[in-house]
A and B are shown apart, each in its own frame.
Chain A
């Protein structure tokens, strides 16, 4: 995988400013304080570091360093296993690419975060009885969820599982993800969940959704998509039902660095995709 920064003829400061501006537009730092986006943001930072840290202009290196530190500092607040694995990946990238001094500072921050995290998870054994929510409310809540969260919810408990089987949920997800690509014949008793699953596998959605990133043509920027929509209200109004163009992480890095590297992925991902809809395999 070769990366090239092709505008080395321009004066240094202009180049630096351009990259710094692009990075700021990516809004990685904001995403770090968002519970849901934190893992995506950490993964993106890891990718940026892995794919081109040494080539970054000095200013941008400073920004990346600052954001890594705040990622570790925010880790105890996140308190999900997804956040912990994302932070672990980030630390690995930091260890392999950062110069000694910065590396040590970052690792210290990370270790402190892990200690704080441990302290937090220790205090939590209250056996409160939460009121159980009626099914139609559960369905209403689930209607705001993305597909991964919905699948997680389906595995939580019996009542939640029943609520997630509601066809309207899967219908709106199907519309959101695939309606502009696929036309289908509906009949009474149509299983929207099955339809969604089939298209999902067909379009390798899991690969595209992994980055959390999309390109909005209305505001002409790379954004953190909110369930496939641009987070800006004006863009949502303009785009109507049409979802964003999803982007892979390496495409985001390319945009930042102005490079044209290709993806490093192998195609064994199809197996990972199928895992999302695993069948019981008691052999």
Chain B
């Protein structure tokens, strides 16, 4: 080999690499200056002397999968070069941040576990820009988050110390009921699914009191009494699925103490519903349901739903209104005062 060849090859051979192992067990090596840009890897190398060989590979935190790792190293590779201007870096960063929300979240977690603060800042700002100006429902949709807050927690955004799972379950059911009623208003012409869902919620409420074995029977009996045609399979599935959810909950419900202090309003309403259910319990077992009882139950659940609905919707509506309604002349300001007056 000539001198010039050696000169070309040598720098490559002299470059040192660091060995890393990701959560899925795969091992790779990365240029030292790139990897050392991450504080986590830096500490591992300096304090534990790890990463020098394949056997001694640094095991990376769980949240760092290979895809994210390669993204992170792209970032590091660009930024660790001191010769870059601020403008160049800024342009690169903006381009780098263009990815879907899922990857942004993954990247944020990964960067955080590698303690790469500048990247965490970048991704956090990008996520904040996504969240900005959106309603809770929209945010939930984008981030695929569950709607697991009680109505109270939503209305009064403070840390909720009352953690009774029974109350949470109840609220979830009430929320479900409200949603169904809303859908019913929208789909007035389509009659198939409504009563099925309603029945299953009522079943669940009585279920909480511990009368599980009657669920399947009662749902079937209610079906017979409906004037509308339904698909048998569909309804069975709905009620069975719900009863399965309840099976697991029932254990915890029975075991938790019955003290519901602190949520007085909810407590009263809960009691009301439960006592009424107990009264009409026998009515459910029979194959014929007295239409009058059915009417009463319907009204009662709707009433409660309306109460929940009005205060919840109003408060959320008020919150959004100040941002998006402006002074647009006589007609539109009246719109603002309308619901505001109702709220008081």
Interface set of A (CB-CB < 8 Å, partner B): 35-36, 39-40, 43-44, 46-47, 50-51, 80-82, 85-86, 89, 92-93, 124, 127-131, 133-134, 136-137, 140-142, 144-146, 148-149, 151-158, 160-162, 164-165, 193, 206-207, 209-211, 248-250, 263-266, 268-269, 271-283
B137-162 with Cβ < 8 A to chain A: 138-141, 143-149, 151-160
Is A282 in contact with B307, judged by CB distance below 8 angstroms?
yes
Q: Which of A130, A133, A265, A268 contacts B144 (CB 8 A)?
A: A130
B111's nearest neighbour on chain A, judged by CB, is A137
Is B340 in contact with A280, judged by CB distance below 8 angstroms?
no
- CB-CB under 8 A from B128, the residues of chain A are 141-142, 144-145, 149
Q: How far is the CA of A52 from the CA of B343 in the complex (A)?
A: 33
Is B340 in contact with A269, judged by CB distance below 8 angstroms?
yes
B103-139 with Cβ < 8 A to chain A: 105-106, 108-109, 112, 120-121, 124-125, 127-129, 131-136, 138-139
Q: Which of A134, A151, A274 contacts B112 (CB 8 A)?
A: A134
Convert B307-319 into 0s and 1s, putting 1 for each residue whose CB lies closer than 8 angstroms to a CB of A: 1100100111111
State the total of A-B contacts with C-beta under 8 angstroms: 222
Is B156 in contact with A152, judged by CB distance below 8 angstroms?
no
B147's nearest neighbour on chain A, judged by CB, is A157
Is B148 in contact with A157, judged by CB distance below 8 angstroms?
yes
Is A155 in contact with B136, judged by CB distance below 8 angstroms?
yes
- CB-CB under 8 A from A86, the residues of chain B are 324
Q: Is the interface of B mostly helix, strand, loop or mixed?
A: helix
20 A-B interface contacts by CB (under 8 A): A36-B133, A80-B138, A85-B324, A85-B325, A89-B328, A89-B332, A131-B63, A141-B124, A148-B322, A149-B128, A156-B140, A157-B145, A157-B148, A161-B160, A265-B327, A266-B333, A272-B321, A272-B340, A275-B321, A278-B319
The answer to whether B238 has its CB under 8 Å from any CB of chain A is: no
**Min CB gap B301→A, angstroms:** 15
- CB-CB under 8 A from A35, the residues of chain B are 129, 132-133
- CB-CB under 8 A from A206, the residues of chain B are 322
Is A275 in contact with B343, judged by CB distance below 8 angstroms?
yes
Q: How far is the CA of A146 from the CA of B131 in the complex (A)?
A: 10
Given A162-B159, A280-B311, 17 other A-B residues pairs in contact with their CB atoms under 8 A: A36-B133, A40-B323, A81-B135, A89-B325, A92-B332, A128-B144, A133-B109, A149-B128, A149-B134, A152-B135, A153-B131, A153-B136, A161-B160, A207-B322, A209-B323, A266-B337, A272-B336
**Min CB gap A1→B, angstroms:** 9
Q: How far is the CA of A263 from the CA of B329 in the complex (A)?
A: 9
Is A36 in contact with B132, judged by CB distance below 8 angstroms?
yes
Q: How far is the CA of A164 from the CA of B154 in the complex (A)?
A: 12
**Min CB gap B172→A, angstroms:** 11
Is A279 in contact with B102, judged by CB distance below 8 angstroms?
no
The answer to whether B4 has its CB under 8 Å from any CB of chain A is: no
- CB-CB under 8 A from A274, the residues of chain B are 318, 343
Is A131 in contact with B145, judged by CB distance below 8 angstroms?
no
Interface set of B (CB-CB < 8 Å, partner A): 63, 101-102, 105-106, 108-109, 112, 120-121, 124-125, 127-129, 131-136, 138-141, 143-149, 151-160, 265-266, 269, 307-308, 311, 314-333, 336-337, 340-341, 343-344
Q: How far is the CA of A140 from the CA of B105 in the complex (A)?
A: 13
Q: How far is the CA of A46 from the CA of B336 in the complex (A)?
A: 16
**Min CB gap A93→B, angstroms:** 7
**Min CB gap A271→B, angstroms:** 4
Q: How far is the CA of A209 from the CA of B320 in the complex (A)?
A: 12
- CB-CB under 8 A from A141, the residues of chain B are 108, 124, 127-128, 131
- CB-CB under 8 A from A276, the residues of chain B are 318-319, 322
Closest 6 CB pairs of A and B: A275-B318, A278-B315, A144-B128, A206-B322, A43-B326, A271-B340
- CB-CB under 8 A from A130, the residues of chain B are 101-102, 105, 143-145
Q: How far is the CA of A128 from the CA of B102 in the complex (A)?
A: 9
B317's nearest neighbour on chain A, judged by CB, is A275
Is A161 in contact with B149, judged by CB distance below 8 angstroms?
yes
Is A131 in contact with B131, judged by CB distance below 8 angstroms?
no
Q: How far is the CA of A128 from the CA of B156 in the complex (A)?
A: 30
Q: How far is the CA of A193 from the CA of B159 in the complex (A)?
A: 11
